[in-house]
């Protein structure tokens, strides 16, 4: 391996640590894929004879460690312990990839067959091997075909048992999780549109077609229009997203969204709030003015009352003078 450059040596070490193969096998696989790690992993794991042997006794021990004490399945508590052992956040997308490998029918549940069968397919029979496989499972999300399979798997995995559609809140959460990997720039705009105007469960057709919608560089591509002719929600969204244009400096997959139906609704909502606030301010000003006027009137009444009282108590006092006027008719003056 001393003849390899530093970058290729690191790839060989990474390949060996994840697959558990020898240096010779790692070099052969990487050379065959022109030193692309993802291609080497795909080629290696597509050959059943290359998969690591698993010990059924160790698999049983792993399953018993995580299975529920009352039900012969791995449920939420067991999966939480598994995530702690793997040092992975339960909300990490790699746990979706794990469920895909296990062909799990339902979110947060593994039957014994699903759990053991999935680990066998990964060549895992210990926690150390499981941890070593995490980087490989993350790399699978970068493969377009595998991402498509994981994406389509996620619909059935995430929906409630017995339901044909996926609850909107769940669908939005899954889209934000999945498209965080694919960097679809319109995912938040799409989710806002659904919450503002759709507000219904998501069908499998809508789920599947959105991936095609997200894949094209131009969101109003005629191929997408034709593909989504039967899907009203996508038609409505395309009308909402007609003002989408590429940023040349950032490449064709990045877009800026001009004011759309969703942002228009937000604008109207803000206008209404501002109008309400203005009306409240005006009403408060009127109340203050009325209070001031009442105060002025009260003071004026008090002043007049005081003057009248003075006139009654001192009837002979000339206004503006301290001299009393003594009526002549009373005979005090001649």
On whether the CB atoms of residues 204 and 164 are closer than 8 A, the answer is: yes
Give the domain CATH number at 115.
1.10.238.10
Name the residue among 92, 199, 212, 196 with its Cα closest to residue 152: 212
DSSP 322: S
308 found inside a domain: no
Q: Is the residue at 211 inside a domain?
A: yes
Q: Is residue 286 part of a domain?
A: no
On whether residue 46 sits in a domain, the answer given is yes
Instruction: Let me know whether 181 and 104 are in one domain.
Output: no
* Cα→Cα distances 66→110, 211, 308, Å: 10, 34, 96
Residues 135 and 149 in one domain: no
Contacts of 4 (CB under 8 A, 6+ apart): 12, 27
- Contacts of residue 130, Cβ cutoff 8 Å, sequence gap at least 6: 85, 86, 119, 122, 124
- Same domain? For 171 and 90 the reply is no
CATH number at residue 24: 1.10.8
Same domain, 63 and 125: yes
Give the integer Cα–Cα distance in Å for 62 and 122.
14
Q: What is the pLDDT of residue 111?
A: 96
Strand-pairing partners, residue 150, are none
User: How many separate domains does the chain show?
Assistant: 3
- 193-216 per-position pLDDT tens digit: 888 888 889 999 889 888 888 876
The H or E element spanning position 246 is strand 244-246
Tell me which of 14, 32, 50 is where a domain ends.
Answer: 50
Is the domain of 33 the same as that of 60?
Answer: no
* Same domain as 243, residue 162: yes
Give the CATH number for residue 223: 1.10.238.200
pLDDT recorded at residue 71: 95
Boundary residue ending a domain (217, 242, 257): 257
Pair (184, 238) in one structural domain: yes
CB 33 within 8 A of CB 40: yes
Q: In the numeric block, which tokens belong to residue 271? A: 């206008």
Residue 298 in any domain: the answer is: no
Residue 185 lies in a domain: yes
Q: What pTM does this model have?
A: 0.58
Instruction: Give the largest Cα separation in the chain, rounded.
Output: 147
Residues 19 and 99 in one domain: no
In a shared domain, residues 45 and 65: no
CA distance readout (Å), 56 to 59, 93, 243: 5, 28, 57
Per-residue pLDDT of the chain (334 residues; tens, 9 = 90+): 557 888 888 888 888 877 767 788 788 888 888 888 888 877 776 664 445 578 889 999 999 999 999 999 999 999 999 999 999 999 999 999 999 999 999 999 999 999 999 999 899 999 999 999 999 899 889 888 899 999 999 999 999 988 999 999 999 999 999 988 777 788 888 888 888 888 889 999 889 888 888 876 434 444 444 444 445 676 676 666 554 444 333 333 333 333 444 454 555 566 667 777 777 777 887 888 888 888 888 877 777 776 665 554 444 444 454 444 444 444 444 4
> Which of 236, 257, 278 is where one domain is finished?
257
> Do 196 and 252 fall into the same domain?
yes
Give the model confidence (pLDDT) of 52-69 as tens digits: 578 889 999 999 999 999
Q: Is residue 92 part of a domain?
A: yes
Residue 248 lies in a domain: yes
Query: For the chain, how big is the Rg over CA atoms in Å?
Result: 39
Do 161 and 78 lie in one domain? The reply is no
Q: CB of 117 within 8 A of CB of 102?
A: yes
Geometric angle at alpha carbon 296, from 294 and 300, rounded to 5°? 115
Domain holding 216, by residue range, is 144-257
Alpha-carbon gap, residue 17 to 13, rounded angstroms: 6
If asked whether residues 109 and 126 sit together in one domain, one would say yes
- Listed in sequence order, the residues at least 6 apart from 108 whose beta carbon sits closer than 8 Å to its beta carbon are 75, 76, 79
Task: Compute the C-alpha angle 42/45/47, nearest 5°.
Answer: 110
């Amino acid at each position: 391996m001393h003849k390899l450059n530093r970058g290729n040596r690191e790839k060989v070490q990474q390949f060996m640590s994840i697959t558990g193969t020898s240096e010779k096998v790692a070099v052969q696989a990487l050379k065959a894929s022109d030193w692309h790690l993802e291609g080497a992993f795909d080629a290696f794991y597509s050959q059943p004879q290359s998969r690591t042997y698993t010990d059924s006794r160790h698999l049983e021990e792993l399953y018993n460690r995580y299975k529920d004490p009352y039900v012969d399945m791995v449920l939420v508590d067991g999966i939480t312990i598994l995530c702690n052992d793997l040092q992975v956040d339960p909300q990490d997308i790699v746990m979706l990839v794990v469920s895909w490998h296990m062909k799990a029918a339902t979110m947060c549940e593994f039957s014994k067959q699903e759990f053991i069968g999935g680990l066998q397919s990964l060549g895992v029979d210990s926690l150390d091997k499981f941890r070593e496989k995490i980087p490989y499972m993350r790399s699978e999300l970068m493969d377009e075909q595998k991402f498509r399979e994981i994406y389509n798997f996620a619909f059935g995995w995430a929906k409630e048992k017995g339901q044909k559609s996926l609850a909107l809140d769940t669908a939005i959460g899954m889209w934000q999780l999945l498209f965080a990997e694919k960097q679809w720039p319109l995912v938040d705009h799409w989710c806002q549109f659904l919450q503002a105007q759709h507000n219904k469960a998501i069908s499998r057709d809508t789920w599947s077609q959105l991936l095609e919608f997200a894949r094209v560089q131009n969101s109003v591509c005629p191929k997408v229009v034709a593909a989504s002719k039967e899907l009203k929600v996508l038609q409505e969204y395309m009308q909402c997203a007609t003002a989408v244009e590429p940023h040349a400096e950032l490449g064709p997959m990045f877009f800026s969204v001009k004011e759309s139906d969703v942002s228009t609704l937000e604008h109207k909502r803000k206008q209404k709030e501002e109008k309400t606030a203005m009306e409240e301010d005006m009403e408060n000003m009127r109340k203050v003015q009325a209070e001031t006027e009442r105060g002025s009137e009260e003071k004026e009444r008090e002043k007049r009352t005081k003057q009248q009282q003075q006139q009654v108590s001192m009837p002979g006092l000339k206004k503006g003078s301290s001299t009393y006027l003594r009526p002549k008719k009373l005979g005090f003056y001649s």
